[in-house]
Amino acid sequence: MSSRNLSIRSEGVTLDFGNGAGIFDQSYHVPEGSILGMIGPSGCGKTTTCRVALGLLAPQQGRIETLGRVPTVFTAADRERIGYIPQQFVLYPRLSVAENAAFVASLYGMPRKQVRRRMDDLLKFVDLTEAKQRLGLKLSGGMQRRLMLVCALMHDPALLFADEPTAGIDPVLRARFWEYFRQLRDQGRTMVVTTQVVSEAIYCDLVAVMRKGRILAVDTPTGLRKMALGGEIIDVTLANPDDMRRAIESLKRWKEVVTDARRSPASERDLHVVVDDAREWLPEVLNRLENQRPRIVVASAAPIEVSYDEIFIKIMQMDEQKQAAHA
């Protein structure tokens, strides 16, 4: 993919603060018009990764381009194409919602008439129209987050960074934020969103899994599931547990379709079958078992929906095993 199709291209970027802090050998690409979710525990380097992409910090090794430019030499025009929502409320508590938005717009030299029109559209977008004249200090935490989103969008940036925008807010508002982000993506904007909430991976086009300053994987949510589990899992319950061995042997011989077949530790009758696409291959797996002689009777079968918490734990464990092997 050429740089013209990428909002961010990072190749081997390292910024070592010492004592294990920093970011290390980071390579990732963010296509235009997509949402990249950076997911990992507190202190894993998500904010530092964003600051390097914004040009606020310079890498010691590697190279990064944001919107086709090296961030540390951004011009004012380059910066006008970027929006940023920090973790903490950084606007003016004694200015109203409208005054905060107008002040930020003035920093970009926006004409007053354009400011009013843009502000009205954005306040409606995030359901803050009724709070237009309310002071920042009178806003709830969720309303402050929405105001920061408005201010970050006033100058209509092509690329938006949102650092932990859903931290500490209730699930309903969290889902609403992701609804905002997806609408912005559908309008052609690119977004980088950091979060510790693993389940938010499902809202992203791409997910970067981070640990100790390193990016362990960058893939689609479905791709991460397959990476962690080797594929998707079909849970097959056998009518007769004595058929388990024959069922496993038959499925393991079907190497072009079945990645693995193993008994579930939770039940003597449950068989876990790993395939590329569980819903596509479920009927064929059942046919193969029931066509055995003697017939293997299946009591029930269904794809297993593994949570992203489990998937991320598995990816972390895989990394720990890899690091131990290299130690």
Where exactly are the structural domains of the chain?
Answer: 3-221, 227-303
Q: Is 92 exposed, middle or buried (0-12, 13-18, 19+ CB in 10 A)?
A: middle
Radius of gyration of the chain (CA): 24
Question: In CATH terms, is domain 3-221 a member of 3.40.50.300?
Answer: yes
Q: Which CATH architecture has domain 227-303?
A: 2-Layer Sandwich (3.30)
Q: Are 198 and 309 within 8 A, CB to CB?
A: yes
Per-residue pLDDT of the chain (327 residues; tens, 9 = 90+): 444 589 999 999 999 999 989 999 999 999 999 999 999 988 899 999 999 999 999 999 999 999 999 999 999 999 999 999 988 878 888 999 999 999 999 988 888 888 989 999 999 988 899 999 999 999 988 889 889 999 999 999 999 999 998 887 888 888 888 999 999 999 999 999 999 888 899 999 999 999 999 999 999 998 898 888 888 899 999 999 999 999 999 999 999 999 999 999 888 999 999 998 899 999 999 999 999 999 999 999 999 888 888 898 889 888 888 888 876
Query: Pick from 280, 297, 294: which is nearest to 236 by CA?
Result: 297
- CA dist., res. 101 & res. 150, Å (int): 7
The predicted pLDDT at position 3 comes to 46
Question: Which amino acid, 89?
Answer: F
DSSP secondary structure of 74-109: --HHHHTTEEEE-SS--S-TTSBHHHHHHHHHHHTT
The predicted pLDDT at position 141 comes to 86
- CA dist., res. 53 & res. 28, Å (int): 11
The predicted pLDDT at position 4 comes to 53
- DSSP class of residue 13 equals E
What are the tokens at 83?
């929006």
Q: For the packed helices 141-153 and 171-186, what is the interaxial angle rounded to 10 degrees? A: 10
The predicted pLDDT at position 305 comes to 83
Q: How many helices (H) and strands (E) does the chain have?
A: 10, 13
Q: Are 258 and 252 within 8 A, CB to CB?
A: yes
- CA dist., res. 125 & res. 152, Å (int): 13
Q: Are 219 and 204 within 8 A, CB to CB?
A: no
Where does the chain have alpha helices with state H?
A: 46-54, 76-79, 97-107, 112-125, 141-153, 171-186, 221-229, 244-252, 278-290, 308-326
The predicted pLDDT at position 108 comes to 87
Q: Could you tell me which residues are beta bridge partners of residue 273?
A: 234, 261
Cβ neighbours for 113, distance < 8 A, ≥ 6 positions apart = none
Q: What is the mean pLDDT of the chain?
A: 91
Secondary structure of residue 187 in the 3-state scheme: coil
Q: In what order do the strands lie in the sheet with 82-85?
A: 82-85, 159-163, 190-195, 35-39, 206-211, 214-219
- DSSP class of residue 111 equals -
